[in-house]
Chains A and B, each alone.
Chain A
Amino acid sequence: MSSKISDIVTNPTTDGRSGDVVSTQKDKGWFYTDTVKEHFFHPKNFMDNEATYGEAAMGMVGSPACGDAMKIWIKVDPATERITDLKWKTFGCGSAIASTSMMSVMVTENGGVTLDEARKFRPQHIMERLGGLPARKVHCSVLGDKALRSAINDWYRKAGKTDKIEVEQGRIIDKVLKITDHDIEEAVLDGAYTLEKVQAKTKVGIGDPCCIPEVENLIRFYKEKYFGAE
């Protein structure tokens, strides 16, 4: 059975509003959906013993200073280029752990997705399967797919197929103003170290306030990357 991205979301819930964020105004019940809780308390496919994965392709994103870091190992069938196994480790909050766990299931279920299909994974696919995440937790789920793409590049590198390595494209952060992470990176390089200063340069988040937590995370990430930890 082949699995396309459109097939991957097998169990959408109305609660999650098709992977949309859950309003922070929600003031009843538990903070996370039952699916998020299940993956947080009983994580699937997490890396138990790194020694046996020494040869596997690996990708990592995030940093402990940012509050989220994810590391992903994949095993791939060279003939079909399907991901046969994915293991992960995550430093982060409940939704970060649950998102990585859910992604590991989505990538490996039904015989595994191909590397090309895996590259099309986006946070909203994971969020949809999780039944949605609280608005300010969305940033926690955006690292898993990046780590996966980084591991895929590593696999191609190890397989000698360097032509298949893809540079991470700019990702749109502010859907309204179409501001990408590269724009934020440029702003930080220009000396804008705070949200206010980055907003003064890019207007990010003015029309799409939902993205502000992620912008703050990116500012700290780039600041640390280029100017070192505080």
Chain B
Amino acid sequence: MKEIYLDYAATTYVDGRVMDVMRPYFLETFANPSSFHTPGLQAKTAVADARGMIAKFLNCRADEIVFTSGGTESDNLAVVGIPRAHKARGKHVITSAIEHHAVLETLRYSQKIGEIELTILPVDTFGSISVNQLKQALRPDTVLVSIMTANNEIGTIQPIADIGRAILKWRKEQKTPYPYFHSDACQAAGVLDLDVEKLHVDLLTVSGSKIYGPKGVGILYVRRGTKIEPIIRGGGQEQNIRSGTENVSGIIGFAEAFRLMQEEKDTENARLTILRDRLVDGLLTIPKTRLNGHPVKRLPNSVNFSFLDIEGEAAVLYLDAEGIYCSTGSACASASLNPSHVILATGLSYEGAHGSLRFTLGKRTMPEDIERVITVMPSIVEKLRHMSPINLDMKYFTP
């Protein structure tokens, strides 16, 4: 039985070409970049080169890249570090209801301990944020806006450039540098254009583990002149924003992974869009099935369905037995017992949210894999529905 991995949004494998460039940095160029000897300088140079390469793809300067331990740390640094550095100005932060937990839970904690006042914007039925609603939420004491570039669960792409422009306009009208604009681009990296000048962002999060790079390494882009308070203190690395010995091999791998993604982006996006649309068409033939997220403005590799009358975890396990690996936003698979906050935020009922499944495609996904899912899925849904005592109306799909 061929194993079919359709959980690329959870994490990707590491590209062999990325591993190849990383290897010497474990064995030979392993010295500490802060050391003043020759191997130390070699490591320092390698990190600088990697930084320069990443900066080129983001259309920013090398000194605007801060290396971190991954997406969660970058998000924490942004949404904690900005309000702390600018508390004299105000403590209001705006975010959305469908952010990754690394943003949402961190901001909720800051709110709980009184560091910030938080506005959480709702989303529409497709998971999109309204730029107008965001404009209305802006206040003179707003110091930070954090909106993700594309959602990890339902794949909806947000109008980041429009939001960025609206914030620029507000700053101009109010004659203020506030608020700063952060976007978590973990799921968008390597798929969408992340030119920071086009997106008008001041901070941007990217993780290595979603771009066929190593886990445990990420970046936070911080626009020059943006004051940010560190959350990890120590030896003063990364311009004092993030202390700790540089993860040299990880940084080298991240840069190479990012480069490869940029190079192969257009052909891979076109290929995956065809496969994604075929999967949508195939699975929507199953009765009482809904596509979650935006019909058009979605990532080329991401789909999320709700199947009424069945529970997501049960479906994941039956698919697992078929060698098909995907994930669910169902309550039973989460520690909190609440179904996905993202799917509930789009207005879907608890009943509908419990039966949600996410399939995310990637470089190794082949057309026959998609056909296999389309062949196997109807009988799994049928079997679980046959076992289920409930027979819900389609109205549970309408908010």
Residues of A within 8 A of B (CB): 24, 40-41, 43, 46, 48, 60, 64-71, 89-97, 136-137, 139-140, 213, 216-217, 220, 229-230
The stretch from B159-167, B297-305, B387-395 touching chain A is B387-395
- B contact residues around A96 at 8 Å (CB): 311, 314, 332
Tell me how far the C-beta of A179 lies from the nearest C-beta in chain B, rounded to whole angstroms: 18
Residues of B within 8 A of A (CB): 309-314, 317-318, 321, 330-333, 335-339, 349-351, 354, 386-390, 392
User: A69 near B332 (CB under 8 angstroms)?
Assistant: no
Q: Decide if the interface of chain A is mainly helix, strand, loop or mixed.
A: mixed
User: B350 near A230 (CB under 8 angstroms)?
Assistant: yes
Show 18 residue pairs from A and B whose CB-CB distance is below 8 angstroms, ordered by the A residue.
Answer: A41-B318, A41-B321, A64-B354, A65-B350, A67-B311, A67-B332, A67-B337, A67-B339, A91-B309, A91-B390, A93-B314, A93-B332, A93-B333, A94-B313, A137-B332, A216-B336, A216-B338, A229-B350
Q: Please give me the 7 A-B residue pairs with the lowest Cβ-Cβ distance, nearest first.
A: A93-B332, A71-B389, A89-B389, A93-B313, A65-B350, A91-B388, A64-B351
- A contact residues around B390 at 8 Å (CB): 64, 69, 91
User: B317 near A40 (CB under 8 angstroms)?
Assistant: yes
Q: Which residue of B lies closest to A224 (CB)?
A: B350
Instruction: Select which of B314, B335, B350, B387 is within 8 A of A46 by beta carbon.
Output: B387
- Select the residue from A60, A67, A95 with max chain B CB neighbours within 10 A: A67
Known A66-B350, A90-B387, A229-B349; further 14 A-B contacts with Cβ < 8 A: A41-B317, A46-B387, A64-B309, A64-B390, A64-B392, A67-B332, A67-B354, A91-B389, A92-B311, A92-B332, A93-B332, A94-B332, A97-B314, A137-B332
Tell me how far the C-beta of A209 lies from the nearest C-beta in chain B, rounded to whole angstroms: 12
- B contact residues around A91 at 8 Å (CB): 309-311, 387-390
- B contact residues around A70 at 8 Å (CB): 389
- B contact residues around A230 at 8 Å (CB): 349-350
Tell me how far the C-beta of A217 lies from the nearest C-beta in chain B, rounded to whole angstroms: 6
Q: Which residue of A lies closest to B383 (CB)?
A: A43
User: B337 near A90 (CB under 8 angstroms)?
Assistant: no
- B contact residues around A93 at 8 Å (CB): 311-314, 330, 332-333
Contacts A60-B389, A65-B349 hold; do A92 and B335 have CB atoms under 8 A apart?
A: no
A97 to B389, CA, bound (A): 12
A209 to B120, CA, bound (A): 29
- A contact residues around B350 at 8 Å (CB): 64-67, 220, 229-230
- B contact residues around A65 at 8 Å (CB): 349-351
Tell me how far the C-beta of B31 lies from the nearest C-beta in chain A, rounded to whole angstroms: 34
- B contact residues around A69 at 8 Å (CB): 388-390
- B contact residues around A217 at 8 Å (CB): 337
- A contact residues around B314 at 8 Å (CB): 40, 92-94, 96-97
- A contact residues around B337 at 8 Å (CB): 67, 136, 139, 213, 216-217
- Select the residue from B314, B332, B333, B389 with max chain A CB neighbours within 10 A: B389
Tell me how far the C-beta of B3 lies from the nearest C-beta in chain A, rounded to whole angstroms: 16
Tell me how far the C-beta of B127 lies from the nearest C-beta in chain A, rounded to whole angstroms: 18
User: A67 near B389 (CB under 8 angstroms)?
Assistant: no
A153 to B377, CA, bound (A): 39
Q: Which residue of B lies closest to A58 (CB)?
A: B389
A137 to B312, CA, bound (A): 14
User: B389 near A43 (CB under 8 angstroms)?
Assistant: no
Tell me how far the C-beta of A127 lies from the nearest C-beta in chain B, rounded to whole angstroms: 16
- Select the residue from B337, B338, B349, B390 with max chain A CB neighbours within 10 A: B337
- Select the residue from A43, A94, A97, A137 with max chain B CB neighbours within 10 A: A94
A78 to B309, CA, bound (A): 35
Tell me how far the C-beta of B214 lies from the nearest C-beta in chain A, rounded to whole angstroms: 21
Tell me how far the C-beta of A154 lies from the nearest C-beta in chain B, rounded to whole angstroms: 15
- A contact residues around B349 at 8 Å (CB): 65, 229-230
A216 to B332, CA, bound (A): 12
- Select the residue from A24, A90, A220 with max chain B CB neighbours within 10 A: A90
Tell me how far the C-beta of B288 lies from the nearest C-beta in chain A, rounded to whole angstroms: 12
Q: Which residue of B lies closest to A71 (CB)?
A: B389
- B contact residues around A136 at 8 Å (CB): 335, 337
A140 to B317, CA, bound (A): 16
- A contact residues around B332 at 8 Å (CB): 67, 92-96, 137, 140
- B contact residues around A41 at 8 Å (CB): 317-318, 321
- A contact residues around B351 at 8 Å (CB): 64-65, 229
- B contact residues around A97 at 8 Å (CB): 314, 387
- Select the residue from B310, B313, B330, B336 with max chain A CB neighbours within 10 A: B313
Q: Which residue of B lies closest to A212 (CB)?
A: B337
Contacts A92-B311, A93-B311, A216-B337 hold; do A67 and B388 have CB atoms under 8 A apart?
A: no
- A contact residues around B311 at 8 Å (CB): 67-68, 91-93, 96
